């Protein structure tokens, strides 16, 4: 069947694994298997979303034909997400995202990739991509989405949408984090608890007693940081880990300590033998 929007190629799959008319599409004049022109297949989508405007327009017309739903749109969204995941992760992990947002008039207050840690980066990136792709479809349905006249590749356009969404995602994350009780910020808090004779032990030993599943490697990092006062760079040299990885390990450790130690706002009771 043909229409002003294009036509499906009604080809039966001999293996019976696909519905008729789903895999092939010709935007110009109907079935043209093996010919050049506007004929595209599902396998072409990853390349088309990264192609220039002219080739991308063929896919866009196909998506418009389906009102941005169905198997062709699902595959397009997957291809965009596959491109965006490492791209958005890269600009967040390097801090480049702060520059991009500032250039767009939306600076990120207190942004630091080290402060986010690996888990924070992963959560922000996944949320940003999800929101960016929702906006991609909303704008497309409204008739103001990607255009071969206005935009470069669809991936570039989708990335710009993600940059636009990131300040909202980051600010929500920052507000939620501010409402959480702060983690223990140093082992001085551990030494004040009734659970340990920290003054007689190495910091790493204290942690392993409070949290028995703490690895020897993490206990060593605690000793180097809080016992010997080394900075993250010095610890990285000794442990063959990156400073960012060490920062993340210590932050998560502090979070676990926060769960088992008394509220930092209240001075813990001294043990009987200390009174």
- Per-residue pLDDT tens for 173-230? 888 877 665 444 444 444 444 434 444 567 888 887 778 888 888 888 888 888 788 8
pLDDT score at 244: 83
pLDDT score at 151: 62
- Per-residue pLDDT tens for 129-167? 999 999 999 999 999 899 877 768 999 999 999 999 999
Instruction: Residue count of the chain, please give it.
Output: 275
Q: Is the pLDDT of residue 127 over 60?
A: yes
- 221 close to 239: Cβ distance less than 8 angstroms: yes
Q: Is the pLDDT of residue 31 over 50?
A: no
pLDDT score at 147: 86
pTM: 0.56
- Residue 88 tokens, joined: 């958005």
Q: Is the pLDDT of residue 4 over 70?
A: no
Distance CA 143, CA 151 (A): 14
Please, which pLDDT band fits residue 15 given cuts at 50, 70 and 90? very low
Quickly tell me which residue has 């206005």 as its tokens: 150
- 227 close to 220: Cβ distance less than 8 angstroms: no
Q: Is the pLDDT of residue 16 over 60?
A: no
Please, which pLDDT band fits residue 249 given cuts at 50, 70 and 90? confident
Q: What percent of the chain is modeled with pLDDT above 70? A: 71
Single out the residue of 133, 10, 118, 121 nearest to residue 83, CA to CA.
133
Quickly tell me which residue has 């490492």 as its tokens: 86
- 112 close to 95: Cβ distance less than 8 angstroms: yes
Q: Is the pLDDT of residue 270 over 80?
A: no
Q: What is the mean pLDDT of the chain?
A: 75
């Amino acid at each position: 069947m043909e229409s002003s929007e294009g036509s499906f190629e009604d080809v039966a799959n001999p293996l019976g694994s696909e519905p008729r008319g789903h895999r092939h599409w010709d935007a110009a004049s109907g079935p043209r298997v093996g010919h050049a022109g506007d004929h595209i297949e599902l396998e072409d989508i990853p390349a088309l979303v990264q192609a220039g405007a002219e080739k991308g327009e063929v896919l866009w017309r196909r998506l418009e034909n389906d009102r941005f739903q169905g198997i062709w749109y699902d595959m397009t969204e997957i291809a965009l997400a596959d491109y965006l995941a490492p791209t958005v992760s890269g600009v967040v992990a390097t801090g480049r995202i702060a520059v991009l947002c500032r250039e767009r008039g939306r600076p990120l207050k207190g942004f630091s990739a080290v402060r986010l840690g690996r888990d924070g980066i992963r959560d922000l990136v996944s949320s940003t991509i999800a929101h960016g792709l929702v906006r991609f479809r909303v704008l497309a349905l409204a008739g103001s989405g990607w255009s071969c006249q206005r935009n470069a590749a669809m991936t570039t356009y989708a990335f710009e949408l993600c940059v636009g969404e990131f300040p909202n995602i980051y600010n929500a994350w920052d507000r939620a984090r501010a409402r959480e009780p702060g983690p223990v910020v140093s082992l001085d808090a551990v030494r004040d608890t009734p659970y340990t004779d920290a003054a007689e032990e190495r910091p790493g030993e204290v942690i392993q007693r409070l949290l028995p599943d703490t690895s020897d490697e993490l206990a060593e990092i605690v000793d180097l940081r809080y016992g010997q006062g080394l900075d993250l760079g010095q610890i990285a040299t000794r442990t063959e880990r990156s400073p960012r990885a060490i920062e993340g390990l210590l932050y998560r450790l502090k979070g676990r300590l926060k769960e088992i130690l008394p509220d930092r706002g209240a001075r813990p009771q001294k043990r009987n033998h200390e009174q």
